[in-house]
Structure 1
Amino acid sequence: MTIRLQDIFPIENQTEYKIHFARWNQHVQPLEVFARDRGEWHGWQEYWPGRNEFNRPKIFSLIQYFHEPDIWLFGGIYRVTARHADRYEVELTNEFEAFIGRLKLFYGYRARTTRPVLERHYQNFEVQEVLREAYSGRLFPGFDNIDLSHDELRTVVRNNREDWRAALENVKGIYLITDTHSGRRYVGSAYGDQGIWSRWRAYIDTGHGGNVELRALVRREGMEYCREHFRFALLEYRSERTPDDTIIARETFWKQILLTRGEQGYNRN
């Protein structure tokens, strides 16, 4: 039997609320922002879009759960405390706070309007799931299904997600970084005393992980370029007992197959 939002969130004065349907802003996913930095997420409520769209006392905030179609994650209820020419000031209330980051709602919202009135949509929200804990990044999908944006990887690393760290910390392997803007790719490897987890953390910290071509790219374009355009995939993973020579040979194989040397890629050797 369908459970609707109104069955667990009885909101009587709906005309006091605007909804905030937080969606991808062409740069980052709000779901990753919420999981990585609650202060940054708070700032999403204070953004002024050029006109006074949060023109009611409260904001019912929802985050697009982009891994699943038509799913929204409850991001809290905020009170608007001030309106300025270029921003809002808001404060997070304690209304339904136990559900923040945990309640997933189903609603096929397709309209372009990001900040509609609550009463036109409230009755349409269906409860999809209540997570055991607040969302802190994607679940580890298995070694053969890793395909992460820089933004997603940054969330996983910053939250030190145990499922990812336990899986990747003690394995060697070959990975692929794809620049989705230029189409160029880089094949790298983790061996010696460094597992995949350690290598990927370096890219989150520096953007380049020590690679010469990527270092030049970061100097030229900045870290934001990496955060917006880099994707990470695992090509092969091996036991930590695998000889380093084997890993290096496989890395060379993938460089040849994927043509990552020269103008088509970021590998120099």
Structure 2
Amino acid sequence: MQQMGEMECAQMNISLAQVCQVSDPQQFKMHLACWNGYNQPLDVFVRDRKEWDGWNSWRGKRNDFSRDYIFSLIDFYPQKDTWLFGGVYRVIERKPVDNSHSYTIEAVPDYESLTGRLKITLKRPGRAKAVNFDKHYGALVVAEILPEPYSGEAFCGYDRIDIGFSMLENLISRQRTDWKTALANAKGVYLITDTENGKRYVGSAYGNSGIWSRWECYAGTGHGYNDELTKLIKQNGLEYARQNFRFAVLEYCGMKTDDQAVIAREQYWKQVLLSRGQYGYNKN
């Protein structure tokens, strides 16, 4: 299959049907997977494909996937009105809702080569998570075909980092080369924001390990062994970090920068952002 970039696809107005043919769309429900209050499905897809399968097998009180097949799309939240193709599943069994909140499903291998690679333009039609695929199939437009399944956003530059905890987990667990190379070779001052209450934590990375090693500790613990964050995560669990923590780099420093200079800049940012006391999690 010839691969093309995003701009090229947009100019040629490539329809989904041209690159992903579905013989009988009336047998399909389209799953529009969006933020569920706890996780972004895009982060789940990158983190654990089995966990993503679970999003398609979940059955609530409504029989949302009432047809033989599920055509899954994942809200590609870094870009507006863009969805990542999450695969096609065949519904094998619909268990009674009072007995089990799940469908028995299996992935259809014919679509695996495009799973995680195909980005589709679609303005979400209402709030329903499942709609009849045949009503939308003809209007779906290809935005981009990625050369490999999506594994997280490419490194964006030190001054543009603004990522959630789940994305940080994904980058660390996959040891994304572009992010690791950049952050392992940088000292600096970083910011953690708790979006639940607006509180901030200002930290710094110095020595020989760089920002990557410091953030790797956060990904594993949720708190990085900082006193106030440790209390918070012990009380609320790692899921609190996944739901509420965002990471940014306030100030980049080269690896040759003196450690005391980095620490001095950390103190400056703590003062400017009022991250001590009632407005933040810093203690000193």
Q: TM-score, normalised by structure 2?
A: 0.93
Specify the code of the residue in structure 2 equivalent to 1:245. Q
Cα displacement string for residues 34-62 of structure 1 (whole angstroms, at most 9, x for unaligned residues): 01110100000011121111111110011
Query: In the alignment, which of 59, 63, 75 is matched to residue 52 of structure 1?
Result: 63
Report the Cα offset of residue 109 of structure 1.
2.1
Compute the RMSD of aligned alpha carbons.
0.9
Partner of 1:87: 102
Q: Which residue of 2 aligns with 1:61?
A: 72
Matched residue type, 1:78: Y
Give the structure 2 partner of residue 131 of structure 1: 146
Q: Does 1:111 align with 2:126?
A: yes
Task: Give 1:97's match in structure 2, choosing from 112, 125, 131.
Answer: 112
Find out whether 1:210 has 2:225 as its counterpart: yes
1:32 maps onto 2:43 in alignment: yes
Distance across 2 between alignment mates of 1:59 and 1:95: 13
The structure 2 residue matched to 1:121, chosen from 136, 139, 146, is 136
Distance 1:213 1:249, change over 3 A: same
Structure 1 position 182, deviation (Å): 1.3
1:55-107 Cα shifts (integer Å, max 9, x gaps): 11110011111111111111101011111122111111112211110011112
Q: 1:241 Cα shift?
A: 1.1
| 1:92-125 Cα shifts (integer Å, max 9, x gaps) | 1112211110011112223111111111000010
Residue identity in the other structure for 1:265: G
Matched position secondary structure for 1:227? helix
Supply the distance in 2 between the matched residues of 1:262 and 1:113 (Cα, whole angstroms).
43
Query: Post-superposition shift, 1:164?
Result: 0.4
Aligned twin of 2:32: 21
Aligned residues: 269
The unaligned stretches of length 5 or more in structure 2 are 1-11
Q: Residue 209 of structure 1 aligns to a residue in which SS?
A: coil
Q: Which amino acid aligns with 2:128?
A: T
Q: Which runs of 4+ in 1 moved over 2 A?
A: none
CA distance in 2, matches of 1:255, 1:213: 15
> How far off is 1:207 after superposition?
0.8
In the TM superposition, 1:1-269 aligns within 5 A as 1-84=12-95, 85=97, 86-269=101-284
Q: Which residue of the partner structure matches residue 5 of structure 2?
A: none
Cα deviation, 1:9-40, whole Å, max 9, x if unaligned, reads 22121111111011111211111110111010
Q: Which runs of 5+ in 1 are unaligned?
A: none
Deviations 1:171-211, CA, capped at 9 Å, x for gaps: 11000000111111100000112210010111110011010
Query: C-alpha distance in 2, partners of 1:186/1:109?
Result: 36
CA distance in 2, matches of 1:104, 1:141: 20
User: Once the 2 structures are TM-superposed, how far is the Cα of residue 259 of structure 1 from its aligned partner?
Assistant: 0.7
